[in-house]
């Protein structure tokens, strides 16, 4: 098979690392790829939003299967275009991807089909939103309706912080048109976890749960980011919790999308809060999570390409999981998620048998691999348990302690809540 992975981040690097292992894969391409992906795939210089260019390449290169990583091309209709050209693509259509593309659509969808989630209201007027904050008080959550690279969610601990978030989104246009509409919802107490599933229409095949830490600093402090690290499995997510989530969230969402005339093919991701009243959905994503993918796939025994082919053919992929744990820690540019510099040389050390490095915001230069983004790379490790995996990952990460160009959290997999 010839396979194309669309994207340039850590999630896509992880995908090509696992696809490379399959004996069925002949040629593996990444578009556009990053500084580390060319070790595993041929990188082609086509932007992920150049859908016509990607379609043309898929035809010219005889691509048998395209896997789309990032959310922006999904919401621009990349799956629809590939399907129009009779090209096999593992990705939801534009209508199905709206479940991630619009927070207000997702909330209305969950309300309609009784999928458990936080109470909410949607606003297009800043003054009305502020009056609602005054009525509801804090803590409270303010979300940009559209895609904002994981940064459009503000957990406001005071009314003043919530009003500042409204001004930033709706008046200052921090997230451009993504913040023209906002969703304000109740603050949920509990422990977060993520559950991804391979989905084709009514068929839902859940993966292992993971826990992603989105706050920039230790002890879940600081601003929200796209994710500063993750681990799997999650000790406090019991079989009963998983069974409930699979039935009442993932399966119900897939069935309801079919009912809406939005059949879903791809990865359905539920970000959840395990509250005293049971799991409630914080958000849906319609693609592989980042950084959850980087810690879940190393624990899967199956060939990733065969799983996807089986799912698309309506077959049970019979997922098998290692009885081990995986911890991944993101190394970010100093200043992220605010202003940061690019071009910093990245310390290099060969991974061991138990560690791996997934590159994200990197590029090649005459001086070697340098930073080219906020989240630069992820150092991961597999171990018999979370403590062992975390220790192994942090032993490797010491090479970054000699530079102030980067930072990373010190508690991923150690702080298990």
- What CATH code is carried by the domain that includes residue 347? 3.90.600.10
Q: Do the domain assignments include residue 106?
A: no
Q: Is there a single domain that holds both residue 221 and residue 285?
A: yes
Is residue 244 a contact partner of residue 274, using CB atoms and an 8 Å limit?
no
DSSP state of 329: E
The predicted structure's pLDDT at residue 130: 96
Question: What pLDDT sits at residue 353?
Answer: 82
| Mean pLDDT per 10-residue section of the chain, whose length is 417 residues | 97 97 96 93 98 98 98 97 98 98 96 97 96 96 89 91 95 91 95 97 98 95 93 97 98 98 98 96 97 98 98 98 98 96 90 90 90 96 97 96 95 90
Residue with tokens 């659509």: 105
**Residue 98 falls inside a structural domain:** no
CB atoms within 10 A of CB 72: 15
In a domain, 155, yes or no: yes
Are residue 23 and residue 56 in the same domain, yes or no?
yes
On whether both 275 and 200 belong to a single domain, the answer is yes
Look at the block and give the residue holding tokens 């693509």: 89
DSSP class of residue 187 equals P
Alpha helices in 47-139 (DSSP H): 51-60, 71-75, 78-84, 94-101, 103-112, 126-136
Domain's final residue, options 151, 170, 186: 186
User: Could you tell me if 196 and 308 lie in one domain?
Assistant: yes
In this structure, the chain runs to a length of: 417
Claim to verify: residue 215 and residue 289 sit in the same structural domain? yes
pTM, full prediction: 0.94
Of 169, 186, 203, the last residue of a domain is: 186
Handedness of CA 42, 46, 51, 57 (dihedral sign): negative
Predicted pLDDT of residue 262: 97
Residues 280, 272 contacting (CB under 8 angstroms): yes
Q: What pLDDT does residue 393 have?
A: 97
**Distance from chain centroid for Cα 247:** 22
Do the domain assignments include residue 105? no
Q: How many domains does the chain have?
A: 4
| Residue-level pLDDT at 392 | 96
156 and 130 within one domain: yes
Is residue 125 located within the same domain as residue 164?
Answer: yes
414 lies in some domain: no
CA distance 120 to 183: 7
- Residue 386 falls inside a structural domain: yes
Residues 341 and 300 in one domain: no
Residue at 347 is within a domain: yes
23 and 134 share a domain? no
Residue 148: give its domain's CATH number. 3.30.1490.20
SS3 call for 132: helix
Same domain, 269 and 378: no
Q: Residue 286 belongs to what domain range?
A: 191-312
Q: Are residues 89 and 59 part of one domain?
A: yes
Assess whether 196 and 299 both reside in one domain: yes
* Domain boundary, last residue among 312, 339, 363: 312
């Amino acid at each position: 098979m010839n396979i194309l992975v669309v994207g340039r981040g850590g999630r896509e690097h992880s995908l090509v690392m696992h696809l490379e292992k399959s004996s069925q894969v002949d040629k593996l391409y990444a578009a556009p790829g990053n500084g580390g992906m060319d070790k595993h795939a041929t990188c082609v210089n086509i932007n992920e939003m150049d859908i016509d260019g990607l379609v043309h390449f898929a035809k010219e290169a005889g691509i048998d299967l395209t896997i789309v990583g990032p959310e922006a091309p999904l919401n621009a209709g990349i799956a629809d275009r590939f399907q129009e050209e009779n090209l096999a693509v593992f990705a939801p259509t534009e209508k199905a991807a709206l479940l991630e593309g619009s927070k207000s659509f997702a909330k209305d969808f969950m309300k309609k089909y009784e999928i458990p989630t936080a109470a909410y209201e949607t606003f297009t007027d800043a003054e009305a939103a502020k009056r609602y904050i005054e009525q509801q008080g804090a803590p409270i959550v303010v979300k940009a309706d559209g895609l904002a690279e994981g940064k459009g969610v503000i957990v406001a601990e005071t009314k003043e912080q919530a009003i500042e978030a409204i001004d930033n989104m709706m008046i200052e246009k921090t997230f451009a048109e993504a913040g023209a509409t906002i969703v304000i919802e109740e603050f949920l107490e509990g422990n977060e976890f993520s559950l991804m599933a391979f989905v084709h229409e009514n068929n839902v095949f859940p993966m292992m749960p993971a826990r992603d830490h989105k706050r920039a600093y230790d002890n879940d402090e600081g601003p929200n980011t796209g994710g500063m690290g993750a681990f799997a499995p999650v000790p406090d997510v019991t079989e009963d919790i998983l069974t409930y989530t699979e039935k009442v969230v993932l399966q119900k969402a897939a069935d309801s999308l079919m009912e809406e005339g939005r059949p879903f093919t791809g990865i359905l991701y539920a970000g959840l809060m395990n509250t005293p009243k049971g799991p409630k959905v914080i958000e849906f994503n319609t693609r592989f999570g980042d950084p959850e993918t980087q810690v879940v796939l190393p624990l899967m025994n199956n060939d990733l390409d065969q799983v996807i082919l089986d799912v698309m053919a309506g077959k049970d992929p019979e997922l098998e999981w290692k009885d081990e744990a995986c911890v991944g820690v993101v190394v970010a540019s100093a200043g992220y998620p605010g202003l940061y510099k690019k071009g910093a040389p990245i310390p290099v050390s060969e991974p061991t048998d138990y560690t791996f490095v997934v590159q994200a915001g990197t590029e090649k230069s005459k001086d070697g691999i340098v930073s080219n983004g906020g989240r630069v790379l992820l150092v991961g490790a597999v171990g018999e348990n979370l403590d062992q995996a975390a220790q192994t990952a942090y032993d490797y990460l010491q090479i970054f302690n000699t530079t102030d160009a980067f930072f990373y959290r010190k508690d991923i997999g150690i702080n298990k809540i």
